[in-house]
A and B are shown apart, each in its own frame.
Chain A
Amino acid sequence: MAIIEIQNLKKSFGKQEVLKQITFDVNKNDVVAVIGPSGSGKSTMLRSLVHLEKIDGGSIRVGGESLVQDGIYSKPQEIKRITSKMGMVFQHFNLFPHLSVKENLELAPRLVKKESSKDIQKRSTELLEKIGLSNRAASYPANLSGGQKQRVAIARALMMNPDILLFDEPTSALDPELTGEVLQVMKDLAKDQMTMIVVTHEMGFAKEVANKVIFMDDGEIVETAHPDKLFVSPQFERTRTFLNRSFK
């Protein structure tokens, strides 16, 4: 069953069309990897799902509810409710630098969720354990490595109990030797059946973890397939060219 339905998404920045008729579905428990060259519109597409970008035309439905229908957005309250089903992890982490790791995790649930403080603390303790950073609960982001920061950012998103987790190039700002620890956390999430959309340059991750790979180029989806198919026998020349360059 489709948990996200995207139809004919269109967006321009001035005269430049960055998204041209993007259409695809995401099913529950899918791990979708979105790959493609820089400037292909992958990040813009992802950001439009949580209303960080406004689209000019098309429809987005999440969990059967309409965020935007034929370019017309729902009421602000509806938008808030619908986007709150999704969590987002950013390339540059965007942790709150003035709060400790534990406070980063607990701030939003405390303000937004109607939960007891005890439940929130219990969850943050569990999540910190899950990402292997229990001993850093009192640290500030400035004292963490990039990989640790991104793991905290993932835990912070999970604190809101999202149905879907979006990743915008989660390892692109990391030193190569630190990407492994972040990808491991994401693999564990996939194993726990979390629905994920991952914009990434990590072909290895896409190959190993995703059950669906979308190749975007120049604002459109060129090819969508299971990784076994897309990486082994791509159907289009553009896909082949991109993959050849990526694996060189």
Chain B
Amino acid sequence: MSIDYILSILGPMLEGAQMTVLLFLVAIVISIPLGFLLMLAVRSSIKPLSWMAHTYIYVMRGTPLLLQLLFICFGLPMLPVVGEYLVFDRFVAACIGFILNYAAYFAEIFRGGVLAIDKGQYEAAQVLSMNKWQTTTRVILPQMFRIALPAVANESVTLVKDTALLYAVAVPELLHFAQTAVNRDFTIVPFLVAGIIYLIMTLLLTMFFKWLEQRFKFE
């Protein structure tokens, strides 16, 4: 296990890690707001909307992410009539899959956050003459985000690792380069290097969320 060898594979692997980071950022930046909207839909008093949101979350959480990715990449183009318009770039397709899947999980996390808020908070806001919008935006949501933060952190770390599923739809990311090097050079060193790169990414992410938790401790 020479330093020279590690340096020689590090270049392409970091290139793959860029893809991993890019997917992570796209997925998290879009799926969190989407999950938030989905949570609002679930809690909506408009029954059909709530019902549709529930069904969506059930399907997304009830089937493997890998199946969903394969479906979007290879399944959609096979649909009759509309199929030819649903051929995406692999990376774009993967992004769509991750966003749709993670939005469902974030929606459930946010819903849990809202449910954890004491009903006394609504009552206090009501007797202070605040309307529904003011109560939601100034009292409920800030507390919801704070309560949800540890679970969001957990889910984000899972997302970093789930990006390795790109391997299955043949998008060249970190694990793909590691696997290629392992096969070519007949050594497990690339796997170890990949593992360390994943650990560094999740460490940075964990530190970021710890900082957020500290920042919004309200003590």
Which residues of A line the B interface, CB within 8 A? 50-52, 80, 83-84, 86-88, 90, 92, 94-98, 107-108, 111-112, 140-143, 156-157, 160
- The minimal Cβ–Cβ distance linking A66 to chain B, given in whole angstroms, is 19
| Residues of A contacting B127 in the complex (Cβ-Cβ under 8 angstroms) | 50, 52, 83, 86-88, 157
Which residues of B line the A interface, CB within 8 A? 118, 120-121, 123-130, 134, 138-139, 142-143, 146, 216, 218-219
Check B120 against A92 for contact (C-beta < 8 Å): yes
| Residues of A contacting B129 in the complex (Cβ-Cβ under 8 angstroms) | 80, 83-84, 108, 112, 160
Bound Cα distance from A111 to B134, whole angstroms = 8
- The minimal Cβ–Cβ distance linking A149 to chain B, given in whole angstroms, is 12
Check A90 against B130 for contact (C-beta < 8 Å): no
Check A140 against B130 for contact (C-beta < 8 Å): no
A100 to B, closest residue via Cβ: B218
| Residues of B contacting A156 in the complex (Cβ-Cβ under 8 angstroms) | 128
> Contacting A140 at CB < 8 Å: which of B125, B134, B219?
B219
> Contacting B219 at CB < 8 Å: which of A87, A88, A143?
A143
| Residues of A contacting B126 in the complex (Cβ-Cβ under 8 angstroms) | 50-52
A50 to B, closest residue via Cβ: B127
A-B contact count (CB 8 A): 62
> Contacting A94 at CB < 8 Å: which of B118, B143, B216, B219?
B118
Q: A50-B127, A52-B126, A90-B120 are in contact. List 20 more A-B contacts (CB 8 A).
A: A51-B126, A52-B123, A52-B127, A87-B127, A88-B123, A94-B123, A94-B124, A95-B124, A97-B143, A97-B218, A98-B143, A98-B216, A98-B218, A107-B139, A108-B128, A108-B130, A112-B129, A140-B218, A143-B219, A160-B128
**Contact (A94, B120) CB under 8 Å given A50-B127, A160-B128:** yes
Bound Cα distance from A115 to B143, whole angstroms = 27
Bound Cα distance from A238 to B125, whole angstroms = 37
| Residues of A contacting B143 in the complex (Cβ-Cβ under 8 angstroms) | 96-98
B127 to A, closest residue via Cβ: A88
Check B121 against A94 for contact (C-beta < 8 Å): yes
| Residues of B contacting A83 in the complex (Cβ-Cβ under 8 angstroms) | 127, 129
| Residues of A contacting B218 in the complex (Cβ-Cβ under 8 angstroms) | 97-98, 140-142
- The minimal Cβ–Cβ distance linking A140 to chain B, given in whole angstroms, is 5
- The minimal Cβ–Cβ distance linking A137 to chain B, given in whole angstroms, is 15
